Amino acid sequence: MARPVQFFLNDRLETVEVDENEILIDTIRERFRLCGTKEGCRTGDCGTCTVLLDGRAVRSCLILTCAVEGKHITTIEGLGNATNVHPIQQAFVDVGAVQCGFCIPGMVLTAKSLLDENHHPTEHEIRIALSGNLCRCTGYEKIIQAVQLASQRMYP
Amino acid sequence: MKRDTVIGSSLIRPDALAKVQGRAPYVADIKLEKRDCLIGRALFPPYAHAKILSINTSRAEALSGVEVVMTAKDLPGLNGYGAAALDKPVLADKIVRYQGDPVAFVAACDKKTADKAVALIEVKYEPLFPQTDPKENLKPETPLIHEDHPMSKGTNISSSWRVERGNVIAALSRSDIVLENDFETQIVDHAYLETDSCIAEPDPVTGILHLITQGHSAQLNCRSLAAAFGLPHSKVHVTIPIVGGSFGGKEDSNLEVSVMAGVLALKTGKSVFCEYTREESFRNTGKRHATHSHRKLGATKEGILTAVAADITVNKGAYRSIDPIPQRMTMYGGGVYRVPNALVEARSVFTNQVYGCACRGLGVPQAMFIIESQMDDLARRLNMDPVELRLKNILRDGDTMITGQAIKKSQGLGLEKCIQAVCERIGWDKPLEQSDDPSIRRGRGIATIMYGTGTGYPTDGAHCFLNLQMDGSLMVGIATAELGQGGIIAMTQIASEAMGIPYNMVSVNYSDNHSSPEAGATVASRSTVFHGNAIINGCNILKDRMLCCAGQILGEDPRDLDIREGIVYTRQNKERSIPLTEAIKFAFSSQVPLTTTGSWYPPLNHLDPIMGQDTRMHTYTYGAQAVEISVDIGTGIYTLDRCVSAFDVGKAINPMCVEGQIEGGVTQGIGYAMMEKFELRNAMAVTDTYHTYLIPTSMDLPKLETILVEEPNELGPFGAKGIGEPPVTAAAPAIRNALFDAIDIPFYSLPITPIDVLDAIKKKKSPVVNRQERAATKNLEK
CA distance B574 to B579: 12
CA distance B665 to B671: 10
Structural domains in chain B plus CATH codes = 33-128+199-276 (3.90.1170.50), 290-455+609-781 (3.30.365.10), 461-600 (3.30.365.10)
Chain-chain contact of A101 with B244 (C-beta, under 8 angstroms): yes
Chain-chain contact of A99 with B664 (C-beta, under 8 angstroms): yes
**pLDDT at residue B781 above 70?**
no
**A residues 15..44 contacting B (CB < 8 A):** 29-30, 33-43
From A148's Cα to the closest Cα of chain B, the distance in A is 13
Residue of A45, A141, A145 for testing the chain B interface, max B β-carbons within 10 Å: A141
How do residues B247-281 score in pLDDT, each as one tens digit? 999 999 999 999 999 999 999 999 999 999 999 99
Confidence grade of residue B780 (pLDDT, cut at 50, 70, 90):
low
Local structure of B147: helix, strand or coil: coil
Strand partners, B164: B343
How do residues B67-83 score in pLDDT, each as one tens digit? 999 999 999 999 999 99
Does the complex come out with an ipTM higher than 0.90? yes
Strand partners, A12: A9
Chain-chain contact of B689 with A48 (C-beta, under 8 angstroms): no
From B404's Cα to the closest Cα of chain A, the distance in A is 35
Residue of higher predicted confidence among B336 and B778: B336
Dihedral sign from CA coordinates of B97, B100, B102, B103? positive
Q: Which of A45, A100, A143 sits opposite B691 (nearest CB)?
A: A45
**pLDDT at residue B2 above 90?**
no
Structural domains in chain A plus CATH codes = 2-78 (3.10.20.30), 87-154 (1.10.150.120)
* Chain A neighbors of B708, CB-CB under 8 A: none
Q: Output the CA–CA distances (angstroms, integers) from residue B49 to B81, B253, B356, B534, in the order listed.
A: 20, 20, 17, 46
How do residues B503-528 score in pLDDT, each as one tens digit? 999 999 999 999 999 999 999 999 99
Q: Output the CA–CA distances (angstroms, integers) from residue B612 to B155, B167, B484, B668, in the order listed.
A: 22, 15, 34, 30
CA distance B332 to B603: 20
Please report the pLDDT score of residue B269 as a whole number: 97
Local structure of B61: helix, strand or coil: helix
Confidence grade of residue B782 (pLDDT, cut at 50, 70, 90):
low
**B residues 230..289 contacting A (CB < 8 A):** 242-247, 277-278
DSSP, residue by residue, A15-60: EEEEETT-BHHHIIIIIT--TTS--S-SSSSS-TTEEEETTEEEET
Hey, is the C-beta of B33 within 8 angstroms of any chain A C-beta?
A: yes
Hey, is the C-beta of B19 within 8 angstroms of any chain A C-beta?
A: yes
How do residues B393-428 score in pLDDT, each as one tens digit? 999 999 999 999 999 999 999 999 999 999 999 999
Chain-chain contact of B483 with A89 (C-beta, under 8 angstroms): no
Q: Which of B28, B668, B697 sits opposite A134 (nearest CB)?
A: B697
User: Is residue A33 within 8 Å of A17, Cβ to Cβ?
Assistant: no
Residue of B19, B277, B694 for testing the chain A interface, max A β-carbons within 10 Å: B19
Question: Which residue does chain B place closest to A137, by CA atoms?
Answer: B664
Dihedral sign from CA coordinates of B219, B237, B209, B39? positive
Residues 6 or more apart in contact with residue B233 via CB below 8 angstroms: B222, B223, B226
Q: Give the whole-number percent of chain A exceeding pLDDT 90.
A: 97
Spatial CA neighbour of A117 closest among A92, A154, A75: A154
How do residues B542-567 score in pLDDT, each as one tens digit? 999 999 999 999 999 999 999 999 99
Q: Which of B193, B657, B691 sits opposite A43 (nearest CB)?
A: B691
Q: Which of B23, B668, B706 sits opposite A36 (nearest CB)?
A: B23
Please report the pLDDT score of residue B487 as a whole number: 95
* Chain B neighbors of A140, CB-CB under 8 A: 667, 697-698, 701
**Beta strand extents in B35-87 (DSSP E only):** 38-43, 50-56, 66-70
Residue of A62, A135, A137 for testing the chain B interface, max B β-carbons within 10 Å: A137
Confidence grade of residue A115 (pLDDT, cut at 50, 70, 90):
very high
Please report the pLDDT score of residue B35 as a whole number: 86
* Chain A neighbors of B28, CB-CB under 8 A: 35, 39
* Chain A neighbors of B653, CB-CB under 8 A: none
**B residues 698..727 contacting A (CB < 8 A):** 698-699, 701, 703-704, 706
Please report the pLDDT score of residue A58 as a whole number: 98
Please report the pLDDT score of residue B205 as a whole number: 95
If residue B470 lies in a helix (H) or strand (E), which one and from where to where?
none
Read off φ and ψ for residue B459, nearest 5 degrees. Answer: -80, -5
Read off φ and ψ for residue B194, nearest 5 degrees. Answer: -90, 120
**A residues 39..78 contacting B (CB < 8 A):** 39-43, 45-46, 48, 75-77
Q: Report the mean per-residue pLDDT for chain B.
A: 97
Hey, is the C-beta of B659 within 8 angstroms of any chain A C-beta?
A: yes
Say which DSSP state B435 is in.
P
Residue of B31, B112, B193, B687 for testing the chain A interface, max A β-carbons within 10 Å: B193
From A147's Cα to the closest Cα of chain B, the distance in A is 13
| The amino acid at A139 | G
**Crossing angle for the helix pair B532-554 and B580-589, nearest 10 degrees?**
80
Confidence grade of residue B766 (pLDDT, cut at 50, 70, 90):
confident
Please report the pLDDT score of residue B777 as a whole number: 75
Q: Report the mean per-residue pLDDT for chain A.
A: 97
What mean pLDDT do residues A74-93 have?
95
From A133's Cα to the closest Cα of chain B, the distance in A is 7
Dihedral sign from CA coordinates of B434, B435, B441, B443? negative
Q: Which of B15, B665, B690 sits opposite A45 (nearest CB)?
A: B690
How do residues A7-22 score in pLDDT, each as one tens digit? 999 999 999 999 999 9
**pLDDT at residue B389 above 70?**
yes
Confidence grade of residue B1 (pLDDT, cut at 50, 70, 90):
very low
What mean pLDDT do residues B681-709 have?
98
Spatial CA neighbour of B272 closest among B76, B77, B40, B90: B40
Local structure of B546: helix, strand or coil: helix
From A129's Cα to the closest Cα of chain B, the distance in A is 9
* Chain A neighbors of B697, CB-CB under 8 A: 130-132, 134, 140
Strand partners, B467: B475, B595
Confidence grade of residue B765 (pLDDT, cut at 50, 70, 90):
confident
Residue of B32, B214, B647, B698 for testing the chain A interface, max A β-carbons within 10 Å: B698
User: Is residue B713 within 8 Å of B529, Cβ to Cβ?
Assistant: yes
Dihedral sign from CA coordinates of B479, B482, B487, B489? positive
Chain-chain contact of A102 with B194 (C-beta, under 8 angstroms): yes
Q: Which of A39, A80, A100 sits opposite B483 (nearest CB)?
A: A100
